[in-house]
C-alpha cells in the first residue's frame, strides 16, 4: 500500500479487472440458468421444436466462479497487498478458464 493507505495503481487495476470478470461471469451464469430452465419448454410452446439448452455443467461452473469471484471482491479490502493481488489473479484466471471452456469448442 502507498503512504496514503491506498493500494498501488497496478493493484487497483487488477482489482477492477477481477471485479469486472467476476460480475460478468456471474451474470452469464444467471442467464445460462434461465436458458437451461426455459430452453426445453419455450421453443416447443411457440412451435419451434425442442431445444436442450446449455448443459448444467456450464451453468454451475459459471455460477461458482462468479460467486467465489464476488466473494473475493467483497472481502479483499482487508487483505495484504500480496494476498489481494494473488486472489485477484486467481479470479481472473478462473474466469478466463471458464469462459474458454464454456464458450469455445
Domain edges within the chain: 9-103
Q: What are phi and psi of 49, to 5 degrees?
A: 95, -165
The pLDDT of residue 46: 62
Please check whether residue 28 is in contact with residue 76, taking contact to mean a CB–CB distance below 8 angstroms.
no
Q: Above 70 in pLDDT, residue 4?
A: no
Nearest to 103 by CA among 39, 70, 33, 55: 55
% residues pLDDT > 70 (the chain): 83
On the CB side of 77, how many CA atoms lie within 13 Å of its CA? 7
55 three-state secondary structure:
coil
User: Using one digit for the tens of pLDDT, what is the confidence trace for 16-49?
Assistant: 999 999 999 999 999 999 988 887 766 666 666 6
Amino acid at each position: 500500500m502507498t503512504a496514503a493507505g491506498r493500494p498501488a495503481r497496478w493493484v487497483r487495476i487488477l482489482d477492477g479487472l477481477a471485479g469486472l470478470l467476476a460480475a460478468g461471469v456471474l451474470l452469464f451464469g444467471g442467464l445460462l440458468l434461465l436458458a437451461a430452465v426455459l430452453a426445453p419448454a419455450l421453443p416447443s410452446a411457440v412451435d419451434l421444436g425442442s431445444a436442450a439448452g446449455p448443459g448444467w455443467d456450464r451453468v454451475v461452473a459459471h455460477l461458482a466462479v462468479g460467486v467465489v469471484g464476488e466473494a473475493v471482491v467483497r472481502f479483499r479490502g482487508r487483505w495484504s497487498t500480496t494476498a489481494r493481488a494473488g486472489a485477484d489473479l486467481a479470479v481472473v484466471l478462473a474466469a478466463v478458464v471458464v469462459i474458454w471452456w464454456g464458450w469455445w469448442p
